[in-house]
Amino acid sequence: MKRRDFLIQSTLTALGTMALHNLPVQSQPMYKQYSSYKSWKSDNSFLKGINAPVFQELDISNLKVSGTIPPEIKGMYVRNGPNPMFKPESYNYPLEGDGMLHGIYLENGKASYKNRWIQTRGLAYERFEGKELDELKFKNYANTNIMSHGGKLLALYEIGLPYEITQELETVGEWNFQGNLEQSMTAHPKVDYTTGELHFYRYSFFNSPYLHYYIADKQGKIIRNYPIEIAKPVLIHDMALTENYAIFFDCPLIFNMEKAKANNTPFTWEPEGGTTIILVDRHHPEKKPIYLKTEAFWLWHFMNSFEKDNQLTIDYVHYPKMNLETNLEAISSNKSNLQRMTIDLKTHQINQKSIDDHSIEFPIIDSRRMGQPYRFGYTPYIDNDLLAKKQIIGYFPALIQYDMVNQNHKTHQLKSGCYCGEASFIPHPNKSGELDGYVVTFVYNENTNTSDLLIIDPANFEKEPIATIHLPVRVPSGFHGNWIG
């Protein structure tokens, strides 16, 4: 494909689908620099401090460990996030920035690290030119999530096809499910632990129906493609799953063509339309979706959902409104908290209540409980006073463990100057309880300008980590990651 044709196609496609334990005695970590790129600095608050990109791809083995890595942990924790290779003239956070993967490999109580840029087609053209290309402003950055299914490791973004990644974090290329996926796949699929099925969707900004729901079997073969009618082209970032339903929240963050043409964040908040809850029958495609109207609100992420006694329960991070303008004041004005929605499946009556008033984001659970009754969930805590003081987002000073049965919580407070990101849950390979496993998260230490990976015992959540893996480098603030056993 000629470069000009690629630029036209990629742009249209994007718009169209838019105090620690004592250190054991160890030798020093062993570095191997894989590649290095020209560094730069920016005054943009989304590109400095904890959010500043890194410019080297590294392999580091024999990482120092405080405490002891449980011997049954074997696999890799990989996290995705934006890391622009070239300095952008403008930056529409959180929708932009070349994806970079950061992986920690654990086996026999030892740890190693590597990071790699995701070599998308758009990044390949920019590397050829040696700069950011304005005509690729809405390219597929592949920077939001990474997950494993059907023998494939896939890097995901809001628009565009997934990128297949090797276990060594090298980019294979775009993956379209053997030609059965059109246009795109969003960044928050759900895996049913019972059936092994992958549930995901794509949305369009131009072509009705604006929403398509897919199911792939455990081998990765798409077995269902179900169009869903919605009134307007909107941003739908996440979905939820229960035993019988796929759940979508149609929130009024509307695609705006004029803003897109001006290279601005292409969405406007139109609350007069309210929010629509969409329930799609997983097992009977002939049934029409159920549409339930509520007052306007926004969500980025669900925690979990389940059915019990003819009632549907949905736990999610609630925002009364959403402002996506690209400035710190606008982003900081979006206040969140954990809420529980219940829907009577006979009368369709909706009730909502706040779990507490903490500002939070990036909720996760033990993935074995996806779509089933559960007890525990985990989120970073957003300290709004701290963010106002630093004038930079991404500084989360604590993790919260929510007990959704007893409606209370515990806090893992990080040490002064240390800040976490989204957590992941590593299930114990031989036990099935929700506390049988480990909570892990990357933590940035601004005192040393390096990062650690914490391994926390969920049964003793407020105590010191059982292990801290020390990186001699910094891992920038990012988005989503997963444990690959």
pLDDT value, residue 6: 46
pLDDT value, residue 294: 97
pLDDT tens, position by position, 337-365: 999 999 999 999 999 999 999 999 999 99
pLDDT-derived band at 259 (thresholds 50, 70, 90) equals confident
The DSSP code for 446 is: T
CA distance 397 to 419: 5
Least confident among 27-31, 101-105, 254-258, 397-401: 27-31
pLDDT value, residue 325: 84
CA 99, 105, 107: angle at the middle one, nearest 5? 165
pLDDT value, residue 27: 55
**61 has pLDDT over 50:** yes
The DSSP code for 319 is: B
pLDDT value, residue 21: 36
What amino acid is encoded at 297 in this protein?
Answer: F
Residue whose C-alpha is closest to residue 212's, from 193, 236, 192, 178: 236
**23 has pLDDT over 60:** no
pLDDT tens, position by position, 435-447: 999 999 999 999 9
Per-residue pLDDT averaged across 315-328, rounded? Answer: 92
CA distance 343 to 310: 9
Across the chain, mean pLDDT equals 92
Burial bucket for residue 419 (CB in 10 Å: 0-12, 13-18, 19+): buried
pLDDT value, residue 251: 98
pLDDT tens, position by position, 218-247: 999 999 999 999 999 999 999 999 999 999
pLDDT tens, position by position, 161-196: 999 999 999 999 999 999 999 889 999 999 999 999
Exposure b/e, 319-346, CB count within 10 A at least 16 = b = beebbbbbebeebbebebbbbbbebeee
Exposure b/e, 167-195, CB count within 10 A at least 16 = b = eebebeeebebeeebebbbbbbbbbbeee
- What token pair was written down for 235? 């941003």
pLDDT value, residue 9: 46
**28 has pLDDT over 50:** yes
Task: Indicate yes or no: pTM above 0.85.
Answer: yes
Q: At what angle do helices 3-17 and 121-129 cross, to 10 degrees?
A: 140
pLDDT value, residue 413: 98
CA distance 337 to 108: 39
CA distance 412 to 401: 8
pLDDT-derived band at 266 (thresholds 50, 70, 90) equals confident
CA distance 144 to 11: 19
- What token pair was written down for 48? 């400095």
pLDDT tens, position by position, 116-168: 999 999 999 999 999 999 877 779 999 999 999 999 999 999 999 999 999 99
CATH fold of the domain at 3-484: Methylamine Dehydrogenase; Chain H (2.130.10)
